[in-house]
Amino acid sequence: MPQMAPLLWLNLYVFFTVVLTLIIISSYFIKTPIKVDSNLTITKTNQANWKW
């Protein structure tokens, strides 16, 4: 299997970094807002404090 030139590795790294950045930015802007109901009841769960 032929070895990749260093510039090809750099191009591959830059490409995947740009794609990852675009995915993170798009997921930030495309996030669906949570629907807020006025008659939403808050339920409190009893959690035990474990003391080992």
pLDDT tens digits for 2-44?
Answer: 687 888 999 999 999 999 999 999 988 887 777 776 665 556 6
Q: For residue 23, what pLDDT is reported?
A: 95
The band of 47, judged by pLDDT with boundaries at 50, 70 and 90, is confident
Q: Would you mind telling me the total number of residues written for the chain in this entry?
A: 52
Nearest-angstrom CA–CA distance, 25 and 40: 31
Specify the pLDDT at position 20. Answer: 98
- Residue 45, CB half-sphere, CA atoms under 13 Å: how many? 3
Mean pLDDT of the 43-50 span: 74
Q: Supply the pLDDT for residue 10.
A: 93
